[in-house]
């Protein structure tokens, strides 16, 4: 079988119809050899080389000998195309794994991740113990700066979100209570809802996105810049120097912010009760003190303390385990926020069940 190429071959123009016929004819079992020639060949580019490579590849797949009588430049390019054989397994494969395979792989990755997280918690525990013994490498100015960042600077956003959430709780309760002339019970609904759990949850969610992400981004960037490695080289524990002040600051400030959020939420309910439901201001305050026992405040502080630990540990852990690229810092920041919020939800469920079992 002889294949003669000629005329003009350009990338912007389609192949001649005879080219596809020639490729199809090579599959004929009667073809015993292939001869390539060029007749009246005009301007050409790599499209001609691609066609010839396909011809030779199809012929070699059938172990049919190929004889080429082509111009020198085209012959050298064709010879160069087959100078190095393709490496086995080098081609990219679009392999798809089943759902069960992905699930099994994820389950197998859990034990090492859990062991690493428990090791990190152990390091934090040892750092706290060293702090009590006076041997921690934590600087007081870092602790104060972390308190300022997670406390004072968070007051505006906590004020707005808690006030609006108190308004929402009051409006939702008023929709049903006004039908029975029981508007005064809006005070108890808002007070118990905010002081017992919702104030702490609102603070936890806001602080997860604001402070937890900042911790992960800051420590992750230090990992990229090899500053954490430099601390280890100098004999300074990164957990003592970077993690401990942030964990202590957030554990202390989140309960205080929870108290502030409770007050702002009650204020939001107060505004709805006095301005929208025409309740007497003193009557609303008196109903709040009667319907909301003090132990709800203690429970809210327990929620806030646990949430502070979860947010700080999630942010610092993702920062300390961050990769060495800008993309890794972004991933660590996002993961820290997600893990902190999920941890808050799980902790809320666990503490709520415990409180119901204990009857408090």
Task: Inform me whether the pLDDT recorded for 31 exceeds 80.
Answer: no
3-state class of 251 per DSSP?
helix
Measured CA angle at 12 (ends 6, 14), to 5 deg: 55
What is the per-residue pLDDT for 92?
60
Residue among 249, 237, 253, 213 nearest 335 (CA):
213
Task: Inform me whether the pLDDT recorded for 359 exceeds 70.
Answer: yes
Q: What mean pLDDT is predicted for residues 26-55?
A: 79
Task: Inform me whether the pLDDT recorded for 91 exceeds 60.
Answer: no
Distance between CA atoms of residues 44 and 117, nearest Å = 62
* Spatial contact of 248 and 143, defined as CB atoms under 8 Å apart: yes
Helix orientation angle between 46-61 and 72-81, rounded to the nearest 10 degrees: 50
What is the per-residue pLDDT for 88?
58
Distance between CA atoms of residues 158 and 152, nearest Å = 10
Q: What mean pLDDT is predicted for residues 134-158?
A: 89
pLDDT tens-digit profile of 228-245?
A: 889 888 888 889 899 999
Q: What mean pLDDT is predicted for residues 77-81?
A: 79
What is the per-residue pLDDT for 100?
84
8-state DSSP, 153: G
Q: What mean pLDDT is predicted for residues 202-219?
A: 92
Strands, E, within the chain: which ranges?
2-9, 34-44, 66-69
Q: What stretches of 272-325 show up as alpha helix (H) in DSSP? A: 281-291, 295-320
pTM: 0.70
What is the per-residue pLDDT for 284?
87
* Spatial contact of 228 and 219, defined as CB atoms under 8 Å apart: yes
Task: Inform me whether the pLDDT recorded for 93 exceeds 80.
Answer: no
pLDDT tens-digit profile of 132-141?
A: 888 888 888 9
pLDDT tens-digit profile of 159-168?
A: 999 999 999 9
């Amino acid at each position: 079988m002889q294949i003669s190429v000629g005329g003009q071959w350009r990338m912007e123009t389609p192949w001649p119809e005879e080219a596809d016929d020639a490729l199809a004819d090579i599959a004929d079992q009667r073809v015993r050899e292939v001869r390539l020639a060029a007749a009246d060949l005009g301007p050409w580019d790599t499209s001609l080389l691609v066609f010839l490579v396909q011809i030779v590849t199809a012929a070699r797949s059938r172990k049919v000998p190929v004889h080429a009588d082509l111009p020198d430049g085209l012959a050298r390019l064709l010879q160069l195309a087959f100078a190095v054989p393709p490496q086995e397994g080098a081609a990219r494969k679009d392999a798809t794994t089943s759902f069960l395979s992905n699930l099994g792989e994820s389950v197998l990755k859990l034990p090492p991740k859990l062991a690493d997280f428990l090791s990190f918690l152990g390091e934090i525990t040892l750092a706290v113990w060293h702090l009590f013994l006076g041997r921690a490498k934590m600087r007081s100015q870092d602790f104060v700066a972390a308190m300022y960042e997670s406390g004072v600077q968070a007051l505006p956003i906590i004020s707005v979100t808690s006030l609006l959430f108190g308004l929402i709780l009051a409006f939702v309760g008023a929709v049903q209570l006004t039908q029975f002339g029981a508007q005064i019970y809006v005070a108890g609904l808002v007070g118990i809802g905010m002081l017992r759990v919702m104030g702490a949850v609102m603070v936890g969610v806001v602080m997860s996105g604001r402070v937890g992400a900042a911790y992960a981004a800051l420590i992750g960037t230090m990992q990229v810049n090899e500053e954490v490695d430099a601390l280890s080289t100098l004999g300074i524990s990164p957990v003592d120097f970077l993690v401990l002040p942030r964990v202590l600051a957030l554990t202390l400030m989140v309960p205080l912010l929870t108290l502030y959020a409770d007050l702002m939420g009650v204020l939001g309910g107060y505004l709805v009760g006095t301005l929208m439901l025409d309740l007497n201001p003193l009557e609303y305050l008196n109903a709040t003190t009667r319907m909301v026992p003090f132990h709800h405040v203690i429970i809210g502080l327990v929620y806030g303390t646990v949430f502070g630990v979860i947010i700080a540990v999630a942010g610092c852990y993702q920062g300390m385990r961050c990769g060495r690229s800008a993309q890794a810092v972004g991933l660590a920041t996002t993961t820290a926020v997600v893990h902190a919020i999920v941890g808050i939800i799980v902790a809320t469920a666990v503490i709520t069940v415990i409180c119901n079992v204990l009857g408090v």
